[in-house]
A and B are shown apart, each in its own frame.
Chain A
Amino acid sequence: MEPRIQYAKTSDGVSIAYTVLGNGPPIMFMGPGFGDIHMYSSGVIPYASDRIVGVGRRVIMYDGRGTGSSERGNTDYSLEGRLRDLEAIIDRTGIDRFALWCMGQSGPTGIACAVKHPDRVSRLVLAATYAKGADWYKVIPALRSSRALETMAEELWEYHTLSLAHAVTGFRDSDLANRVAAVLRAGMSARAYLSIRDANEKVDVIDLLPLVTQPTLVLHLTASPLSNLDLLRVLASRIPNARLVSTAATAPVIDAFLREGEEQAANLPSALPSGTAIILFADIADSTALTERVGDAAFRAKARELGPALRTRVRECGGTPVEGPTLGDGVLAVFTSAREAIEAALRCGKAGDDAGLPLHLGLHAGDVTREGDPDGRDNVYGGAVNIAARISGLSAPGEVLVSDTVRSLARTSAGVRFEDRGEQALKGVGEPVRVWAVREAE
Chain B
Amino acid sequence: MEPRIQYAKTSDGVSIACAVFGDGPPLVFTGIAFGDVHVYASGVGAFKQVTDALVGLGWRFIMYDGRGMGSSDRGNTDFSLEARLRDLEAVIERTGVDRFAVCGILQGGAAAIAYAANHPGRVSHLVLAATYAKGADWFNLIPAARAIRALDTMAEEQWEYYSVAFANAATGFRDSDLANRLAAVFRSGTSASAFLSYLAASEKMDLTEMLPLVSVPTLVVNHSANPLSNLHLLRVLASRIPNARLVTTDDLVGTIDAFLREGAEPVPSRQELPSGTAIILFADIAD
Contact of A167 among B143, B165, B180 (CB under 8 A): B165
Residues of A within 8 A of B176 (CB): 166, 171-174, 177
Verify if B41 is at the interface (C-beta below 8 Å from A): no
Chain B interface, >50% SS class: helix
Contact of B165 among A163, A173, A178 (CB under 8 A): A163
A141 CA / B169 CA spacing, docked (Å): 16
Contact of A152 among B147, B158, B162, B175 (CB under 8 A): B147
Q: CB distance B150 to A152 under 8 Å?
A: yes
Chain A contacts with B in 154-191, Cβ cutoff 8 A: 156, 159, 162-163, 166-167, 171-174, 177-178
Report B74 CB to chain A, min CB distance, Å. Answer: 25
Q: CB distance A152 to B169 under 8 Å?
A: no
Verify if A1 is at the interface (C-beta below 8 Å from B): no
Report A226 CB to chain B, min CB distance, Å. Answer: 13
Q: CB distance B154 to A166 under 8 Å?
A: no
The stretch of A57-65, A143-151, A327-335, A363-371 in contact with B is A143-151
A141 CA / B165 CA spacing, docked (Å): 10
Contact of A177 among B146, B151, B158, B173 (CB under 8 A): B173
Chain B contacts with A in 180-221, Cβ cutoff 8 A: 180
Verify if B101 is at the interface (C-beta below 8 Å from A): no
Q: CB distance B180 to A171 under 8 Å?
A: yes
A173 CA / B180 CA spacing, docked (Å): 10
Chain B contacts with A in 148-177, Cβ cutoff 8 A: 150-151, 153-154, 158, 161-162, 164-165, 168-169, 173-177
Report A141 CB to chain B, min CB distance, Å. Answer: 4
Verify if B179 is at the interface (C-beta below 8 Å from A): yes
Q: CB distance A159 to B143 under 8 Å?
A: yes
Q: CB distance B151 to A148 under 8 Å?
A: yes
Give the one of A142, A149, A162, A173 with max B CB within 10 A: A149
Q: CB distance B169 to A163 under 8 Å?
A: yes
Closest chain B residue, CB of each to CB of A150: B150
Supposing A156-B143, A171-B176 touch, asked if A148 and B153 sit within 8 A by C-beta, the answer is yes
Report B266 CB to chain A, min CB distance, Å. Answer: 43
Give the one of A145, A156, A172 with max B CB within 10 A: A145
Report B230 CB to chain A, min CB distance, Å. Answer: 14
Report A166 CB to chain B, min CB distance, Å. Answer: 5
Report B123 CB to chain A, min CB distance, Å. Answer: 37
Please report the total number of A residues contacting B with Cβ < 8 Å: 20
Q: CB distance B174 to A171 under 8 Å?
A: no
Q: CB distance A145 to B154 under 8 Å?
A: yes
A167 CA / B173 CA spacing, docked (Å): 11
Report B246 CB to chain A, min CB distance, Å. Answer: 25
Chain A interface, >50% SS class: helix
Supposing A141-B154, A141-B161, A171-B164 touch, asked if A163 and B179 sit within 8 A by C-beta, the answer is no
A145 CA / B168 CA spacing, docked (Å): 13
Give the one of B143, B169, B175, B180 with max A CB within 10 A: B143
Closest chain B residue, CB of each to CB of A147: B150
Report A152 CB to chain B, min CB distance, Å. Answer: 6
Residues of A within 8 A of B146 (CB): 152
A142 CA / B154 CA spacing, docked (Å): 11
Residues of B within 8 A of A148 (CB): 150-151, 153-154
Residues of B within 8 A of A142 (CB): 161
Q: Could you mark each residue 124-156 of chain A with 1 if its beta carbon is under 8 Å from any beta carbon of chain B, else 0?
A: 000000000000000001101100110110001
Residues of A within 8 A of B154 (CB): 141, 144-145, 148
Contact of B173 among A144, A145, A152, A166 (CB under 8 A): A166
Residues of A within 8 A of B162 (CB): 145
Q: CB distance A178 to B173 under 8 Å?
A: yes
Supposing A145-B165, A171-B164, A174-B168 touch, asked if A151 and B150 sit within 8 A by C-beta, the answer is yes
Residues of B within 8 A of A156 (CB): 143
Residues of B within 8 A of A152 (CB): 143, 146-147, 150
A400 CA / B165 CA spacing, docked (Å): 74
Q: CB distance B143 to A145 under 8 Å?
A: no
Give the one of A142, A144, A171, A173 with max B CB within 10 A: A171
Closest chain A residue, CB of each to CB of B169: A163
Contact of A163 among B147, B153, B175, B180 (CB under 8 A): B147
A159 CA / B174 CA spacing, docked (Å): 12
A178 CA / B179 CA spacing, docked (Å): 14
A171 CA / B169 CA spacing, docked (Å): 10
Q: CB distance A174 to B150 under 8 Å?
A: no
Residues of B within 8 A of A173 (CB): 176
Give the one of B147, B154, B162 with max A CB within 10 A: B147
A178 CA / B175 CA spacing, docked (Å): 10
A174 CA / B164 CA spacing, docked (Å): 12
> Beyond the given A148-B151, A163-B169, A171-B179, could you list 7 further A-B residue pairs with CB under 8 A, ordered by the A residue number?
A141-B161, A149-B147, A152-B147, A159-B147, A163-B165, A171-B164, A178-B173
21 contacts between A and B (CB under 8 A): A141-B158, A141-B161, A145-B162, A148-B150, A148-B154, A149-B147, A151-B150, A152-B146, A159-B147, A162-B173, A163-B165, A163-B169, A163-B173, A166-B168, A166-B173, A167-B165, A171-B168, A171-B176, A171-B180, A174-B175, A177-B176
Chain B residues within 8 Å of A, Cβ to Cβ: 143-144, 146-147, 150-151, 153-154, 158, 161-162, 164-165, 168-169, 173-177, 179-180
> Which 8 A-B pairs have CB atoms at the shortest separation, nearest pair first?
A141-B161, A174-B176, A159-B143, A162-B173, A148-B150, A141-B158, A171-B176, A171-B164
